[in-house]
Amino acid sequence: MALVIAGCVIPMNADDPWAAFSGRVFIGDDGLVEQVTAGAAPAPAGFSKAPVVDVGDAFVLPGFIDLHNHLGYNALPLWTEPTQKKPFLHHDDWPTKPSYKPDISWPAWVLANADPEALLAYVQARALVGGTTSIQGWPAFNRPLEMALRNIDDEKAGTTNRNLVYTSCITETPPQLAKTAKQMSLGAGFI
């Protein structure tokens, strides 16, 4: 089913990465973004009866948003533990398996430490080819790098210079959580 999303569109614009405009995103029956328009520009053919979801001033990022990722691992092939016959029941189970460190942890660490710029460029290219335009998962302890994708870990979208999206609560102290709750009450997002 075709769908139109109206709101504050934040495009993937290399010339002005913080460009934002009031507009609409037209999603076709195939689930792909057909067109992005500013203001009240005419709809593309086939969208005259498509439902419109107006999100007001909320951000609309045309493309997939990967909300949980570990980018350093995206350069590696899919891993399976050869001895595992049943699904893992908890996320702490697989790192203890014999092949995990030599097949996953150590290669990811080597790539991230040897050339983080090249690793990040490669995994972003893979994500973009798959339709992802926004991603979460570049560890904060790494030095800041140029992002082709929107970096949800440090999102200062639009014209504001404050973080509008908070992405973790696991290690936050009660005062930090209270501060995040206050920012959310003022319109910030939390993933």
pLDDT of residue 45: 92
Q: Which pLDDT does position 159 carry in this prediction? A: 47
Q: What is the pLDDT of residue 52?
A: 92
Q: Phi first, then psi: give them for residue 49, nearest 5 degrees.
A: -110, 10
Domain count, the chain: 3
Hunting for tokens 């003022």 — which residue is that? 186
* Cβ atoms of 180 and 190 closer than 8 Å: yes
Looking at residue 156, its pLDDT comes to 53
Instruction: Tell me which residues of the chain have a pLDDT lower than 70.
Output: 12-18, 138-147, 153-171, 189-191
31, 62, 93 — which closes off a domain? 62
Backbone angles phi, psi at 106, to 5 degrees: -65, -45
Model pTM greater than 0.75?
no
Kindly state whether residues 76 and 120 are assigned to the same domain: yes
Say yes or no: 8 and 87 in one domain: no
Cβ within 8 Å of residue 65, ≥6 positions away: 132, 133, 134, 135, 152
The H-assigned helical ranges of 115-167 are 116-129
Please check whether residue 71 is in contact with residue 120, taking contact to mean a CB–CB distance below 8 angstroms: yes
Instruction: Find the DSSP H helices in the chain.
Output: 100, 106-114, 116-129, 174-185
* pLDDT computed for residue 157 by the predictor: 47
Instruction: Give yes or no: residues 149 and 72 share one domain.
Output: yes
Residues 115 and 174 in one domain: no
Residues spanned by the domain of 191: 157-191
The verdict on 47 and 69 lying in the same domain is no
pLDDT of residue 165: 61
Contact 93, 64 (CB under 8 A): no
Do 84 and 114 lie in one domain? The reply is yes
What does the pLDDT look like over 148-179, one tens digit per residue?
A: 777 776 655 444 555 556 666 566 778 888 88
- Helix or strand or coil: residue 167? coil
Residues 133 and 91 in one domain: yes
Q: Choose the final residue of a domain: 12, 29, 62.
A: 62
| Residues 139 and 171 occupy one common structural domain | no
